[in-house]
Structure 1
């Protein structure tokens, strides 16, 4: 079993994970949770999907188990397996099974990265049955009150590589998240990094210019997370343009002409 998945535990943050709503996503998520509906969060990398789930778990008072998905994630990594110990063979629940038993919110980050046969095990949890069949033990675990399945993925990136089957997609209420409006994003950058308002607005302005290069040679556009990282570096005494080169330009591209274009945008934004 993937040890990183095996070690996941449910947790309930004591302090509120700061999140600034962009629309009615908080209310919609609450209604889905109250009705036991599974939720799919769609949006670009770094637009706040994970922070939103953390905030909602805190708001709803539910423990949260987050599972990062990848190509090697097997169904047994989610459900559990038998382990051989010195005193015999014992069954150990996986993180999904623990969430079902404990009534936690289970968040599968970038779900399409998981193998298709792994995704199929989610189906019985996303309809009227709300059960998790465990073939190896013959048990069918009914979801405890409060359990909710949440998945996320980046449709802009995934449509070129992988995607969810229609039979899976139609089991979720989909919520489309995107980068916030400029004024809204500047407030987030300022709050999370601690920079002054003018610099936060400058970083967001730079991101807006770079995001116009989407589908013109730039595979991924700068996330709000990268802007926060750049702002944080400036507080350490690093000049703003150098901070942007390191935290925004270099993570986005290695292609010389694109790097040159991005650096020019930085220089034009912070003269």
Structure 2
């Protein structure tokens, strides 16, 4: 069994689903030219129920929408799904400048003729890739019109001035969205109806420990408790609206541990990874106090590893 699927077995994911993913991988081999787009995620996703729901949705041909707060693992799950299914992945981050031409493609002059320079959605459709629509609720009208057509049950894309293309049978799209970010808006019903939706739960202590242990197997138990406790404290404060989610940063926490492993004192490392991401002076003081209760200023690398 492939490494990607062994990871599922370790989490006691349904054997029936694992078998179907294995069959999916065999049925849809990937062209050599795009194999470099199949990449192992740096952070594994832990969560049996969420994995099973996501796998079932993709196996039966649906697209997937992942909703939830910051640091719930939406992008991590999307990366892990593409890796498990063995598909080339395309990450499309939506912003105010994302339009239909950046998704489907635009005309370019090449070899003395006008040709289509294919966009991420076009390539994903051709190659049977997994397209990740990051912050899909930032999509403006022009980009949203492409999404409506691409995600439709007919699985076809009309390229203005060119041919109509059919989506490869292995092509899937995974949208991620946070509520309340600047520039976001509600998704309309027609677009939401094109997805199956998973509301991502908050990261649990058990799963956080697994992530930390995966990246830093040599961490000492007391240090693991301290870093886990700090993250969960921040999560609780953010849930209660006592602080914003700026300091609630899993990548920042793991980056801090990496800096400690290099030799930086833990307190300074956490300042870079967590504390200094709160730019409001009052919020920064709250976060700093939380850090001091968990990470002593006199700790050194030897206290952590």
TM-score > 0.5 by shorter chain: yes
Secondary structure of the equivalent of 2:244? coil
- Aligned CA distance change for structure 1 residues 110 and 10 (closer, same or farther; 3 Å): farther
Task: Please list, as runs of the form range in 1=range in 2, the aligned pairs for 1:1-271 lying within 5 A after superposition.
Answer: 11-13=36-38, 15=40, 18-85=43-110, 87-137=112-162, 139-155=163-179, 157-158=180-181, 161-194=184-217, 195-214=219-238, 215-251=241-277, 253-271=278-296
- Aligned CA distance change for structure 1 residues 231 and 163 (closer, same or farther; 3 Å): same
Q: Distance in 2 between matches of 1:16 and 1:243?
A: 24
After superposition, the C-alpha distances for 1:164-202 in whole angstroms (9 at most, x for unaligned) are 222212221111223321122022123224533332221
- Aligned CA distance change for structure 1 residues 178 and 159 (closer, same or farther; 3 Å): farther
Aligned residues: 260
Secondary structure of the equivalent of 1:267? helix
Task: Report how far residue 59 of structure 1 moved.
Answer: 1.2
- Aligned CA distance change for structure 1 residues 159 and 175 (closer, same or farther; 3 Å): farther
Q: Distance in 1 between matches of 2:250 and 2:120?
A: 29
**Any gaps of 5 or more consecutive residues in structure 1?**
1-8
Q: Distance in 1 between matches of 2:111 and 2:45?
A: 51
After superposition, the C-alpha distances for 1:83-140 in whole angstroms (9 at most, x for unaligned) are 1235121122211011111111111111122323202211133232111111232x22
- Aligned CA distance change for structure 1 residues 97 and 60 (closer, same or farther; 3 Å): same
| Contact 1:17–1:58 under 8 Å retained in 2 | no
Secondary structure of the equivalent of 1:73? coil
- Aligned CA distance change for structure 1 residues 197 and 170 (closer, same or farther; 3 Å): farther
Q: Distance in 2 between matches of 1:47 and 1:225?
A: 12
| Contact 1:227–1:248 under 8 Å retained in 2 | yes
**Any gaps of 5 or more consecutive residues in structure 2?**
1-33, 297-305
- Aligned CA distance change for structure 1 residues 42 and 11 (closer, same or farther; 3 Å): farther
